[in-house]
A and B are shown apart, each in its own frame.
Chain A
Amino acid sequence: MAESPGSDTKFRQVFDAHLSSVQRYCARRLRPADANDAVAEVFLVAWRRIHRMPEGDEALPWLLGVARNVIRNLERSGRRSLRLKARVEQEPTPANPGPEAQVIRHVEYAEVAAALSSLNQADQEVIRLRAWEELTAPQIAVVLGCSVAAAEKRVTRASQRLTRAVERRKVKVRPRAIREGGDA
């Protein structure tokens, strides 16, 4: 193994192939400063466990599983909330809304977002892995550390609960608005 992560061939291959996906995963769940912190931590873990890291198609779900744990640890340690608190104290008027808030420009999206955030954390994560990371059930199983059958069940249940939550908010599906989506 090379002394430095940057000069190790296997690490560089994994890093180059999956950096963007890991960055997106973290950026979707954290603000940029925390997301950068988490990304570095994920690849540091990957570097130190390079011999145990799966190769090929399984590498990304494994990295996302590490990212999930890193984010949970960040949240657990309270560093993030302390930083947020400090930031709020310094800036009474938040200039930069959170990652999801930036996207919610249509009322119908706000309703779906509200329905999504009404679910428990485990359900929200499953839905995001399916919709945002576009993972399959076997890949979700790797990220969550459960069996494929369990992952399938979790996806089904979380989807059912999201549908019910949306229905409760009487959200009408507007495919046209979605297709135009983006930054509109």
Chain B
Amino acid sequence: MTEIDEMSVKQLKKDIFLTAYHGRTEHAHLASAFSLVEILYALYVKRVMKFKVSDPEWRDRDRLILSKGHGALALYSSMAMAGFFPMETLKKSFCHPGSPYGGEPHLHDLDGIEASTGSLGHGLSIGVGMALASKIDDVKNKVFVIIGDGESQEGTIWEAAMSAKNFQLDNLTVILDQNEVQEMGTVEEVSGISDWTEKWKSFGWEVIVVDGHNLDELSEILASKNNINTPRIVIAKTVKGNGVSLIERRSDWHYRMPNKKQLKTFQDKLNITDSELA
């Protein structure tokens, strides 16, 4: 990772926090956004995905669906950093009345959002439809779908997994943000499952496990081609709340904002000045 990338990733986390902090909400999915930062930075800012900011409807663009829609803060901030809209506007308007930046992304609110998500277990099915359409129309693009490990408790993830292999969608890549924590405990405690590799392999997918905070590894894998006729899952091992030890791997930080005392910790970890909070 270059020094610039390192600084930018830090900046992105800071932007995510400030967006939530100045948002018209008392809660935010900060920890779920922090586990996604490097993944979205690779796709949007390092431009692993091909897209045109000036023409968000460009037919041949790669598509990204954030199926775990509660990671919206990370998506918006990465899109802003990629130039879709000004970061300063985003930071002033999250969840404000009339703003396009809601707690979950909505297709018709914002150019560049490919699907409305929020209810878990939907995005992969939509992605299967998009990847099928690319095949039918011979569009040479990629469809990326980011899902969560908690989200993988939804049965439709597996309906979609089965169909993607059956349709031989080698233009489809799922990125599993395996942050291991959900609202009521660890994913293993809640569902009894912690190893995803064998499950996806048994559905006929190509499975690649990566460190979800290693930008170089992520960028290289996400830019490479799938095996022929095979959908791919990149299992990104991540830390929920990565970068702010106070909230790392903590289920009670799934959906909240810091109190005054905790705010200092965020300021220290993310290098946020008092004036930036004003």
Q: Do A and B bind each other?
A: no
| B residues neighboring A (CB under 8 Å) | none
